[in-house]
Chains A and B, each alone.
Chain A
Amino acid sequence: MKIIKLMREKTLQVFSVLVIVYLMLPLAVIILLSFNKPKGRQNTSWNEFSTDAWTNICRDQTICSAFATSIKIGLLVTLISTIIGTMISFALIRHRYKGRGSTSLMVFLPLATPEVILGASLLALFLNIFIPLGFWTILLAQITFTISFVVVVVNARLAGMDSRLEQAAMDLYATPLQTFRYVTFPIALPGIMAAALLSFSLSFDDYIVTVFNSGRVVTFPIYIWSAAQRGIPPQVNVLASIMFLGSLLLVLIASLIIKRRKAIQV
Chain B
Amino acid sequence: MSIAQESIIKKPIKKRFKRTPYLLVLPGIGWLFLFFLFPLSTLLATSLQKPAGLSPDDGYLPAFKVSNYTDALAEYYPQFFRAFLYSGIASVVCLLLAYPIAYYMAFRARKYRNLMLVLIVAPFFASFLLRTNAWKTILSGDGLVVSVLNSFNLLPQERILNTSLAVIAGLVYNFLPFMILPLYTSLEKIDPRLIEAAGDLYSPPSQRFWKVVWPLSLPGVISGTLLTFIPASGDYINAELLGSIKDKMIGNVIQSQFIDLRDYPTASALSFTFMAVILVMIYLYIRKAGTDDLV
When each residue 226-266 of chain A gets 1 if its CB lies under 8 Å from chain B and 0 otherwise, what string results? 00100010001100110110111001000100000000000
A84 touching B271 in the complex, CB below 8 Å, given contacts A16-B100, A95-B17: no
Cβ < 8 Å to A, chain B residues 129-176: 129-138, 140, 142, 173, 176
- Are B131 and A27 in touch, CB under 8 angstroms? yes
Q: What are the residues of chain B within 8 A of A112 when measuring CB–CB?
A: 226, 230, 278, 282
- Are B35 and A107 in touch, CB under 8 angstroms? no
Cβ < 8 Å to B, chain A residues 189-239: 198, 201-202, 204-205, 207-208, 211-212, 220-221, 224-225, 228, 232, 236-237
A117 touching B127 in the complex, CB below 8 Å, given contacts A211-B259, A248-B118: no
What total of A-B pairs shows CB separation below 8 Å? 269
Which of these, A94, A113, A208, A248, contacts B275 with CB under 8 Å?
A: A113
Which chain A residue shows the least CB distance to B285? Answer: A112
A85 touching B28 in the complex, CB below 8 Å, given contacts A12-B104, A118-B36, A205-B125: yes
Q: What are the residues of chain B within 8 A of A33 when measuring CB–CB?
A: 134, 137
Asked whether A78 is an interface residue with its Cβ less than 8 Å from the other chain, the reply is: no
Bound CA span A117–B119, Å: 30
> B-side binding surface: helix, strand, loop or mixed?
helix
Which chain B residue shows the least CB distance to A87? Answer: B24
Spot the interface stretch: B66-74, B190-198, B211-219, B231-239. Answer: B231-239
- Are A117 and B274 in touch, CB under 8 angstroms? yes
- Are A207 and B129 in touch, CB under 8 angstroms? yes
When each residue 1-39 of chain A gets 1 if its CB lies under 8 Å from chain B and 0 otherwise, what string results? 000000011001101100110111111011001000000
Asked whether B243 is an interface residue with its Cβ less than 8 Å from the other chain, the reply is: no
Closest chain B CB from A62 CB (angstroms): 15
- Are A23 and B177 in touch, CB under 8 angstroms? yes
Q: What are the residues of chain B within 8 A of A165 when measuring CB–CB?
A: none
- Are B123 and A244 in touch, CB under 8 angstroms? yes
A111 touching B295 in the complex, CB below 8 Å, given contacts A87-B28, A205-B128: yes
A240 touching B294 in the complex, CB below 8 Å, given contacts A88-B24, A113-B230: no
Asked whether B258 is an interface residue with its Cβ less than 8 Å from the other chain, the reply is: yes
Cβ < 8 Å to B, chain A residues 83-120: 84-85, 87-88, 90-92, 94-95, 97, 99-118, 120
> A-side binding surface: helix, strand, loop or mixed?
helix
Closest chain B CB from A150 CB (angstroms): 9
- Are A140 and B108 in touch, CB under 8 angstroms? no
- Are B254 and A120 in touch, CB under 8 angstroms? yes
When each residue 93-110 of chain B gets 1 if its CB lies under 8 Å from chain A and 0 otherwise, what string results? 000011011011100110
Asked whether B89 is an interface residue with its Cβ less than 8 Å from the other chain, the reply is: no
Binding site for B on A (CB under 8 A): 8-9, 12-13, 15-16, 19-20, 22-27, 29-30, 33, 44-45, 84-85, 87-88, 90-92, 94-95, 97, 99-118, 120-125, 127-128, 140-141, 143-144, 147-148, 151-152, 155-156, 176, 198, 201-202, 204-205, 207-208, 211-212, 220-221, 224-225, 228, 232, 236-237, 240-241, 243-244, 246-248, 251, 255
22 contacts between A and B (CB under 8 A): A16-B116, A23-B177, A24-B119, A24-B123, A26-B138, A27-B134, A45-B137, A45-B140, A95-B17, A105-B291, A109-B36, A110-B32, A113-B278, A114-B234, A114-B251, A117-B275, A120-B271, A124-B46, A124-B264, A128-B45, A204-B125, A211-B259
